[in-house]
Amino acid sequence: MQSTIIQTPVDVDERKNLDLRAGDTVRVYARVKEGEKTRLQMFEGFVIARKHGREAGATFTVRKIISGVGVERIFPLYSPVIEKIEIIKRSKTRRAKLYHVREKAVKELRKREKKVSLKGYNTRVGFEEKAVTNGVEEGGEGVEKKEEAKNQNK
């Protein structure tokens, strides 16, 4: 029997180790094709559910309010369409699925939200790390310091 190797443009290990939970506020960058052009679309909202754990069909549901209307979007965790996932804020919840949020007012949710520190958690996926040494990024271009700019203006 011959085995086949499937290559994917997604870093599976990085997404698998992402500590994404219900109650997190996330920013998801997805590639959208409009006509012949593609662009990066950001969707920022509240994670109300995560399903199927870390397996291949894992999904998470993000909800946000746009012009007073609740919008939910379901993202496959390992989709190549998703460019980056960033956890902005973490809230402590006592439920795995927060479907009851749909009936609540936004003001009431903000009041009850219990904030938790993000230290020690993997909060970013798909971001390239740039090493900065002595004010110069690896890649050749220099980074101006604010102090130097202030001195030049005086």
Reported as a single tens digit per residue, the pLDDT across 120-133 is 666 677 666 544 44
Residues 117, 55 contacting (CB under 8 angstroms):
no
**Which of 30-44, 98-112, 140-154 is the least confident region?**
140-154
Residues 58, 82 contacting (CB under 8 angstroms):
no
Residue 38 makes CB contacts below 8 A (sequence gap 6+) with: 31, 32
Q: What is the mean pLDDT of the chain?
A: 80
**26 vs 147, which has greater pLDDT?**
26
**Which of 24-28, 93-97, 121-125, 149-153 is the least confident region?**
149-153
How far apart (Å, rounded) are the C-alpha atoms in residues 65 and 26?
14
69 pLDDT exceeds 70? Answer: yes
- Among the CATH numbers 3.40.50.970, 3.30.1330.60, 3.40.50.2300, 2.30.30.790, which is that of 12-153? 2.30.30.790
Band of the pLDDT at 5, cuts 50, 70, 90?
confident
Reported as a single tens digit per residue, the pLDDT across 33-50 is 999 999 999 999 999 999
pTM of the predicted model, to two decimals?
0.67
| Percent of residues, the chain, with pLDDT higher than 90 | 44
77 alpha carbon, distance to own chain's centre: 11
141 pLDDT exceeds 70? Answer: no
